[in-house]
Structure 1
Amino acid sequence: MVLPRVLTAVVLAPLFLWLLFLGQLPFAAFVWFLAALALWEFHRMGELGGHATQGVWGILGGLVVVTALTFPGVRPEAPWRAQAPAFATMAVTFLWMARELARRDKGVSVLRLAMSAAGLLFVALPLGFLTLLRELRGDSAEFFHVGRDAAVLLVALIWAQDTAAWAVGMAFGRHRLAPAVSPKKSWEGAAGGLVAAVAVSLFLREAWLRPLFGRGEVILLAVVLGVLAQVSDLAESLLKRCLGVKDSSALLPGHGGVLDRFDSFLFTAPFFYYYMISLGKGA
């Protein structure tokens, strides 16, 4: 189990970082692909758990909203850009409702609509914020690639934390973090993950991101993002436990599915995006 996990990480991490540097459109396409797989896993878990879902229509609706949220290649200052996600959400909800009205088995319509809405809010929209974060631009040549640099920091600290939490937990884990939700996670692993997140963030700050983040700021960010990543992970574990499945799928050897591998971004990507724009570090 260890070797497949390591090999998958060795392939995924460089690919993800390469796409971050390759450009906005390739990265947006990759995130869109991830969202499609994650939405498929989400609705599949619902069906395995015995819950009614809208299946492919729920997946397509989520992808429409992700596309409207990011619109790769279109700058945020475009007059219609800010309204596109809300319009897409309304349109998709209308179509979902219309489809339920046309069904004969209306007894579980509310459940099907709820599953589609949950997939949209918990999976599609949060992953879309990865593209929004990558798209941020600064107000000078020095900070032109602020979004790319911030995304690299986020990816590096989260994957450092995930790896360290897993390794430390395997070696020293004694006290369960949330036994009712995820029996294998430990307080020792969580602490080791936070230490790794801070260490990697400080290294990147000193080596590359000194103009963008202060030393104290990057430490605080690493701790906050690290905690949010662990909460994201536990939230996905809670979802799987409620639906009675062990992994979201078996697409990624040693990790489970796309949701299992990228669940740490579900809360961290939106938080980091709004942190950056609220402090004027990008637009």
Structure 2
Amino acid sequence: MTTGFIAGAMYLAILFVGSVPFVLLATIIAVITLLELAAMKHISLRSPGVLLSAAFTAALVFAAPFLKGSEFQTYFIRLLVLLVLVLLAAVVFSKNRFQIEEASFLFFFVSYIGFSFYLLAQLRLESLLLVLFVQITMWATDSGAYFVGRKLGRHKLAPHISPNKTVEGSIGAVAAAFLVAAVFQFIIRRPLFASAGLFVTVTLIISVLGQVGDLAESAVKRHFGVKDSGDILPGHGGFFDRFDSLIFVLPVLYLAGMIS
């Protein structure tokens, strides 16, 4: 409990500061998240493939203050093409100690983690209120799912992936998200979105697809037979555990044209 409170307070403090400090924090979290995934896959963190993948992840996220829109899209594509070539070269020159399956795994998660945390950094550079809205609505979703599921949960949501999640908890998560989102919108006293319909759509995406992101992370952990993605936050797991929903939702908002 204490660890979670301190970590959350530090995160929010740097979030409010914004600018390069938050971009740097997002970069560090993204790199550690990638390392957690590599560790789950039992790839040596000292292997050239992992070290190169961590560097490429950092290069993606830290581009936020310098590139956006079409400029970033070109940079992103070229960086990923280069990463493919570098990882294949690592397979060759390691004499197959670093294998093609590991290279594919790292490429997938550099793309996913790096792009999602780039979006988080870019969103903060553009609007403190909007990134707070997304973050707080996500936290409300997690809390609603936990407390309602614990109190009223009867029907399993996805027992093959996460046995503790329930349909009632999922419904409670959406209800909590809308309640907190509405209160946040009322407190700031100016609309974040062009219409009530857009407000509802964004809140629904954050809450519903945030839960999908949580289940996706549970599926990854279940595949590798681990309870937590890491132990950097004692009692709360790793960064992949803490940011699983957010890193799934941000690309969806991007594809829907709601963030850039």
Q: Provide TM-score, normalisation by structure 2.
A: 0.89
SS of equivalent residue, structure 1 residue 177: strand
2:203 equivalent in structure 1: 222
Residue 86 (structure 1) aligned with residue 67 (structure 2)? no
SS of equivalent residue, structure 2 residue 164: strand
2:121 equivalent in structure 1: 131
**Cα separation, partners in 2 of 1:8 and 1:165, compared to 1, 3 Å:** farther
State the Cα distance separating 1:56 from its structure 2 match: 5.7
Counterparts of 2:14 and 2:204 in 1: how far apart (Å)? 26
Residue 235 (structure 1) aligned with residue 216 (structure 2)? yes
Structure 2, gaps ≥5 residues long: none
Q: Is the 8 A contact 2:60 2:115 kept in 1?
A: no
Counterparts of 1:204 and 1:274 in 2: how far apart (Å)? 25
2:101 equivalent in structure 1: 111
1:58 equivalent in structure 2: 50
1:120 equivalent in structure 2: 110
SS of equivalent residue, structure 1 residue 83: helix
Q: Deviations over 1:122-142 (max 9, x none)?
A: 333222221122233xxxxxx
Residue 44 (structure 1) aligned with residue 36 (structure 2)? no
Letter in 2 for 1:166: Y
Counterparts of 2:132 and 2:77 in 1: how far apart (Å)? 28
Structure 1, gaps ≥5 residues long: 137-146
State the Cα distance separating 1:29 from its structure 2 match: 0.6
Letter in 1 for 2:85: F
Letter in 2 for 1:202: A
Residue 201 (structure 1) aligned with residue 181 (structure 2)? yes
Q: Is the 8 A contact 2:26 2:61 kept in 1?
A: no
RMSD: 2.5
Q: Deviations over 1:175-213 (max 9, x none)?
A: 111000001111111111111111111111122163322
SS of equivalent residue, structure 1 residue 252: coil
Counterparts of 2:219 and 2:176 in 1: how far apart (Å)? 25
Q: Deviations over 1:103-129 (max 9, x none)?
A: 2236x7221211111221333322222
State the Cα distance separating 1:150 from its structure 2 match: 1.2
**Cα separation, partners in 2 of 1:219 and 1:9, compared to 1, 3 Å:** farther
SS of equivalent residue, structure 2 residue 232: coil
Counterparts of 1:57 and 1:122 in 2: how far apart (Å)? 17
2:28 equivalent in structure 1: 33
Counterparts of 2:14 and 2:171 in 1: how far apart (Å)? 30
SS of equivalent residue, structure 2 residue 41: helix
2:10 equivalent in structure 1: 15
**Number of residue pairs aligned between Structure 1 and Structure 2:** 259
Q: Give the percent of matched residue pairs that are identical in Structure 1 and Structure 2.
A: 28
**Cα separation, partners in 2 of 1:133 and 1:59, compared to 1, 3 Å:** farther
**Cα separation, partners in 2 of 1:63 and 1:170, compared to 1, 3 Å:** farther
**Cα separation, partners in 2 of 1:223 and 1:131, compared to 1, 3 Å:** same
Residue 178 (structure 1) aligned with residue 163 (structure 2)? no
Letter in 2 for 1:71: A
**Cα separation, partners in 2 of 1:164 and 1:173, compared to 1, 3 Å:** same
State the Cα distance separating 1:60 from its structure 2 match: 3.6
Counterparts of 1:75 and 1:181 in 2: how far apart (Å)? 38
Letter in 1 for 2:182: L
1:144 equivalent in structure 2: none
2:68 equivalent in structure 1: 76
1:150 equivalent in structure 2: 130
State the Cα distance separating 1:18 from its structure 2 match: 2.1
1:168 equivalent in structure 2: 148
State the Cα distance separating 1:34 from its structure 2 match: 0.6
Counterparts of 2:21 and 2:215 in 1: how far apart (Å)? 30
1:139 equivalent in structure 2: none
